[in-house]
Chain A
Amino acid sequence: NAGVTQTPKFRVLKTGQSMTLLCAQDMNHEYMYWYRQDPGMGLRLIHYSVGEGTTAKGEVPDGYNVSRLKKQNFLLGLESAAPSQTSVYFCASLEAGTPGLRSGQYFGPGTRLLVL
Chain B
Amino acid sequence: GENVEQHPSTLSVQEGDSAVIKCTYSDSASNYFPWYKQELGKGPQLIIDIRSNVGEKKDQRIAVTLNKTAKHFSLHITETQPEDSAVYFCAASIASNSGYALNFGKGTSLLVTP
Contacts and interface: CB of A to CB of B under 8 A. Distances in A.
A108 B99 contact: no
Interface residues of B, number: 29
A104 B48 CA distance: 9
A64 to B, nearest CB: 15
B21 to A, nearest CB: 13
Interface string A77-116: 0000000000000101010111110011111111000000
B97 A33 contact: no
B106 A42 contact: yes
- Chain A interface size, as a band, is 20 to 34
B106 A41 contact: yes
A50 B98 CA distance: 7
A26 to B, nearest CB: 16
Nearest to B46: A104
B43 A90 contact: yes
A94 B46 CA distance: 12
A102 B20 CA distance: 25
Given A42-B89, A100-B32, A109 B43 contact: yes
A45 interface: yes
Contacts of A41: 106
B29 to A, nearest CB: 15
B70 interface: no
A98 to B, nearest CB: 6
B61 interface: no
Interface string A2-24: 00100000000000000000000
A30 to B, nearest CB: 7
A99 B95 contact: yes
A27 interface: no
15 contacts: A30-B99, A42-B6, A42-B104, A45-B101, A98-B97, A99-B32, A99-B49, A100-B50, A103-B46, A105-B34, A105-B102, A107-B43, A108-B43, A109-B41, A109-B43
Interface of B: 1, 6, 9, 32, 34, 36, 41-46, 49-51, 89, 93, 95, 97-107
Interface of A: 4, 30-31, 33, 40-45, 48, 50, 58-59, 90, 92, 94, 96-100, 103-110
